[in-house]
Amino acid sequence: MSSHSAFAAAADALADRVLGALDGTGGAVQLARYVDDAPDTLAALAAVRVLGADAFSPCLLAGHPLPAQDAAVVTKAFDSFPASGALEDPTIAWRDGATAHLLARLTPDTPSAPAPAPPPDGTGLDPADWRAWCVRMAPLAPLATLALDGPVHEAARGGVLALSRGVSRSILRRDFPTAVRLVRWLAWLHHEGTPLPLDPALAAEHMWLVGGGGPRTALDLAIARHFLDQRPVTGAKAEMR
């Protein structure tokens, strides 16, 4: 198996664990145990790096604690895979910044990951060209969660029509991973109380029925549906708001 295939398989396996912890069908994520038990430690750390902020979803949305050993694994993943391309790729910078910020919020009394390169400003986030803008917003879906806010979120608030168009276009093109990521942004906006021209609950239900896209897409959909459920805010989740 190539390194790329091994890393992709490890990311899918970790996404399954996070999904199980989030929807109650599995136990805690246990990042440290996941890495310790993995046949390829480097691939497991790469998976932690790839999931980034989404690895914290059970903590943010379901009130799970983040054990110190799991926080240490996130830091180790940063050390093993430094974001050397963050300055060239704003998406990497935004996602790394989200991961580092949430790690610091969830473990204020323990050492956090090294601070990544400062994320860029909002330049280039204008939704006027909605097709290109949605292509850029889709991989930033991990930022559509609690305890995060910034220029990307402001762009989402100002681009509800563009996001809705992007969801419709992606569904028609049967590009379900992109559709789910954009639905996740709409679900987050719905959770905030933002009026929307497209019903994200109907779109999410359609995505759930057609399936496809693998564990990471399933995790995006679960997070979107969590926001749409408007569940009461309790525990650690309440503290993140």
Q: Residue 113: what pLDDT?
A: 61
Band of pLDDT at residue 234, cut at 50, 70 and 90: very low
Whether the pLDDT of residue 232 is over 70: the answer is no
Rounded to two decimals, the pTM is 0.91
Whether the pLDDT of residue 201 is over 60: the answer is yes
Whether the pLDDT of residue 117 is over 90: the answer is no
Residues 6+ apart with CB under 8 A from 224: 180, 183, 184, 186, 187, 188, 200, 204
Whether the pLDDT of residue 111 is over 80: the answer is no
Which is more confident, 112 or 204? 204
Q: Residue 236: what pLDDT?
A: 38
* Torsion (CA) 21, 24, 145, 120 in degrees, nearest 10: 20
What is the rounded distance in angstroms from the CA atom of residue 110 to the CA atom of residue 186?
34
Q: Residue 120: what pLDDT?
A: 64
What is the rounded distance in angstroms from the CA atom of residue 107 to the CA atom of residue 72?
10
Whether the pLDDT of residue 128 is over 90: the answer is no
| Radius of gyration from C-alpha coordinates of the chain | 17
Averaged pLDDT for residues 205-217: 91
What are the structural domain ranges in the chain?
1-118, 121-231
Q: Residue 67: what pLDDT?
A: 95
Q: Quick one: tokens of 225?
A: 């549906």
For residue range 57-103, what is the model confidence (pLDDT) as tens digits?
999 999 999 999 999 999 999 999 987 654 568 888 899 999 999 99
Q: Residue 20: what pLDDT?
A: 97
Place of tokens 């240490």: 72
Band of pLDDT at residue 122, cut at 50, 70 and 90: low
Averaged pLDDT for residues 133-150: 96
Whether the pLDDT of residue 165 is over 70: the answer is yes
- The DSSP string of the chain is --HHHHHHHHHHHHHHHHHHHHHTSS----HHHHHHH-S-HHHHHHHHHHHGGGGGHHHHHH-----HHHHHHHHHHHHHS--TTTTT-HHHHHHHHHHHHHHHHH-TTS--PPP-PPPP-STT--TTSHHHHHHHHGGGGGGSSTT--SHHHHHHHHTHHHHHHHHHHHHHTT-HHHHHHHHHHHHHHHHHT---SS-HHHHHHHHHHH--SHHHHHHHHHHHHHHHHTPPP-HHHHHH-
- The CA-atom distances, in angstroms, between 175 and each of 132, 140, 181 are 15, 16, 10
Whether the pLDDT of residue 7 is over 90: the answer is yes
Q: Residue 114: what pLDDT?
A: 64
Averaged pLDDT for residues 100-128: 76
- Among 49-63, 175-189, 223-237, name the one with the lowest average pLDDT: 223-237
